[in-house]
Structure 1
């Protein structure tokens, strides 16, 4: 049985739900919101396109590489303790970011902020799974999914308003304010729970897994600049493979590994882990890249660009919670896979809208994508903890959140890298007429993918802004079509993996 100082009252459980959902609201907002602030950060702090990309990637990478270890820490040292430590650290780092005077210092603090977020989410979600049971747990996780989705999708909206009215640092000040509110009003009502059978920490497993994720992400980011067959990329991919092999060996030998590899022998468990990766492909990549297009390429202000993103974010306020209600009549797996198909159709529709079209042309496909993604979003958290005993909720949450965070980190890096490659390919057809060398091609593609038209014009003076916008439009459309295809493939794989086995009729009629 999990340890606890005293039984939790109904009021305590609802305060716990408030604390975890508030964290679920602000943590993802702090992930997607800074995408709206990148032009303002560049203007205030300077920095190359690579350094600015790490404002996003540093948070995602540190979060993804540490969240599984955070789940183990929650099981061993207590869910309340780890949640409190994570929220306190997150609040502190959010305050410090506002005082940065260099973009690389900002990147470093963003990495530390991601580790703090991992502690908070792993501890909070495990505490939630421990406090609620049955349908109440499904509703609680549906509410958490709604909060997480609202925070993730409303990040660009809120950030756009804050950047335009106050400044880029106000995004992180908001995170500090909400984090402080959670610590003051929510944490005192939480009950401490832990896994009494938790043993020594799997330190080597955590180290090898983090090294694997870092090497893989770096390799993906270097492909557009160095090429897939280049020595740096091959070296990083080889290092990632070696670290993954080492991680698997460590987990097989550890008495109580942070990742129970035997779970991957179950088809439905694997199918559940595919869901967060699929939503990262069809939703998270767009949340990061679309603001760069709206502000940098189409010339919208931060506030107007954020308002355009409402079509994508609004469904996250309703659909995840509605999905938890619909499971009374329909299977969770069927609803999740249907959502992915809808999101894929929305991505393809969006690919048909070129740069320069009226804003209304973007709204309907964005709404379809948001609705489609919202269906699996509200169901997959509860599915993830339903496959293991509640005492190991920290492990289950850690595995699932790791797949979600790793999927987001890798997919965002891959999406940005793929867009750079597509733009470089489009530029190559133009380069013969503009005397543009290979090095310049890479630099222009990098700046164009980040929406830095000022740098693009400085690097390619003889190419008109209109031609560059048309070129970007074609590359972005191809990216969306690839994302749509990957999402459809993921929906098919999930449907096959999550299908229920048929019941065999008894020949004797028993």
Structure 2
């Protein structure tokens, strides 16, 4: 008799939910930790600005692009099997990162981490959907969303603490430890289940989509340094767009598509996908850009940066659960629209922070942004599995989380490119003698490599250099605030009329 057979009913479901929550905590640690450590990694290892950009993007790209495939695999091969393989590989890749000798190996292993995390997450979420139905499903998935918030809230803090005490490699050891715990829970308590109608995997669609997303992301990353009219940049963009078009054709013709495009005929399904992508520009990009700024530009310690980021992420510890309860009285459209309006106001407020120290002008807007994004965050996961039949839970999870994570990866690349362009513009205006190196300087700034910037602008005062970066960063926040406000309006209209969940 195995451990799972000794539990039944609520007790067994609770342990499966615990495994899902551990995975939900682990995934944000896997991408917020390296963000806090990036300036330290840059000092320890040699590499270009683009290579260091892939430290975060490699994980987010492979995670996002593989989720739909992982969801289909879970339905076809078995949710438990795919989950255990994924979380086991996540443990191995994370452990290997503790000993990676250079930036190339780190980026390869980070890509492996993303693939493994996709399998683990898609497998356990699909398994969870088999355990909980009806009102209990919304509560269970809201708890998973809250657990993700725990990972976000304590990820920067724990990473800063570990880096400060044990060095930057220790952040990967924490992910390995949590992956091992999730594997133990999954082995003991997750039951096997499959979609009886699943007939195979859409490998053509999977490979095409992953290649398209990778090439598009790489084009965005190299554009600030090489230029948008550079031949290499244009080739990557053209090929990626062509592959996205080919992917659509493949999915339309496939007997068992990875992405069922017919689902996009339903307004509620489209609204949920829009909701999944929306937090990327209002919140997720800050998880990467702010720690790099705090440590690399403002000169804070990794521990201090972690505590400040905890203010931004702290509301995710409890507000998603409250949002789930509020749907008894308020519509999803109202809650989501209000949340994005709050986030937009917080971004605009944050643009007024002069930099340097952690003043109320920094902590106040971070708290408002975190509170605002927590309202829709508590509704998203439950809505994702409610728009398709239970048997298609793997695909629903894959589509939703692909939209969310791939959107986050693309958003990070795009926002980093915009910040780099803004910094380069200020460099050209403030330091005319350095105009020829403006692109390189801007890339180094975005990576938090202030020492390299100062070595290039050798005759310039540190305050003048910082002011150029601060002006560019403030302009970026104003742009993000406008995008978020527009998002609030669109999401409200798209979800308007849906009944409270």
Partner of 2:491: 494
How far apart are 1:490 and its partner, in Å?
1.3
Partner of 2:116: 116
| Structure-to-structure mapping, 1:26-425, within 5 angstroms | 26-425=26-425
Partner of 1:471: 468
How far apart are 1:489 and its partner, in Å?
1.2
How far apart are 1:8 and its partner, in Å?
5.4
Contact 2:16 2:185 survives alignment (8 Å):
no
Contact 2:162 2:171 survives alignment (8 Å):
yes
How far apart are 1:125 and its partner, in Å?
0.9
Unaligned runs of 5+ in 2: none
Partner of 1:436: 434
Q: Which moved more, 1:124-133 or 1:36-45?
A: 36-45
Partner Cα separation in structure 2 for residue 5 and residue 269 of structure 1: 37
Deviation string 1:13-56 (CA, Å, 9 cap, x unpaired) is 11100001001001111111111111222233332222211110
How far apart are 1:256 and its partner, in Å?
1.3
Normalization by structure 2: what TM-score? 0.96
Q: Which moved more, 1:32-41 or 1:190-199?
A: 32-41
Deviation string 1:242-294 (CA, Å, 9 cap, x unpaired) is 11111111111111111110111122211111112110111110010001111
How far apart are 1:156 and its partner, in Å?
1.4
* Equivalent position SS for 2:255: coil
Partner Cα separation in structure 2 for residue 56 and residue 411 of structure 1: 12
Unaligned runs of 5+ in 1: 503-510
Partner Cα separation in structure 2 for residue 126 and residue 186 of structure 1: 13
Deviation string 1:462-498 (CA, Å, 9 cap, x unpaired) is 1111111111110000111111111111111111111
Partner Cα separation in structure 2 for residue 415 and residue 296 of structure 1: 18
Q: Which moved more, 1:178-187 or 1:363-372?
A: 178-187
Partner Cα separation in structure 2 for residue 104 and residue 72 of structure 1: 30
Q: Which moved more, 1:177-186 or 1:242-251?
A: 177-186
Partner of 1:426: 426
How far apart are 1:385 and its partner, in Å?
1.0
* Equivalent position SS for 2:376: helix
* Equivalent position SS for 1:59: helix
How far apart are 1:6 and its partner, in Å?
12
* Equivalent position SS for 1:194: coil
Partner Cα separation in structure 2 for residue 164 and residue 316 of structure 1: 25
Partner Cα separation in structure 1 for residue 253 and residue 304 of structure 2: 54
* Equivalent position SS for 1:309: helix
Q: Which runs of 4+ in 1 moved over 6 A?
A: 4-7
Contact 1:70 1:118 survives alignment (8 Å):
yes
Normalization by structure 1: what TM-score? 0.95
- Distance change (3 Å), C-alpha of 1:62 and 1:358: closer
- Distance change (3 Å), C-alpha of 1:421 and 1:232: same
For residue 447 of structure 1, the aligned residue among 444, 456, 463 is: 444
How far apart are 1:233 and its partner, in Å?
2.1
Aligned-pair Cα RMSD in Å:
1.6
Partner of 1:458: 455
Contact 2:42 2:449 survives alignment (8 Å):
no
Contact 1:21 1:147 survives alignment (8 Å):
yes
How far apart are 1:92 and its partner, in Å?
0.7
Partner of 1:508: none
How far apart are 1:5 and its partner, in Å?
10
* Equivalent position SS for 2:256: coil
* Equivalent position SS for 2:278: helix
Number of aligned residue pairs: give it. 496
Partner Cα separation in structure 2 for residue 264 and residue 234 of structure 1: 30
Partner Cα separation in structure 2 for residue 459 and residue 114 of structure 1: 35
How far apart are 1:359 and its partner, in Å?
2.9
Contact 1:157 1:309 survives alignment (8 Å):
yes
How far apart are 1:501 and its partner, in Å?
7.3
- Distance change (3 Å), C-alpha of 1:112 and 1:138: same
Contact 1:63 1:114 survives alignment (8 Å):
yes
Deviation string 1:164-184 (CA, Å, 9 cap, x unpaired) is 011111111111111111112
Partner Cα separation in structure 2 for residue 187 and residue 322 of structure 1: 32
Contact 2:85 2:119 survives alignment (8 Å):
yes
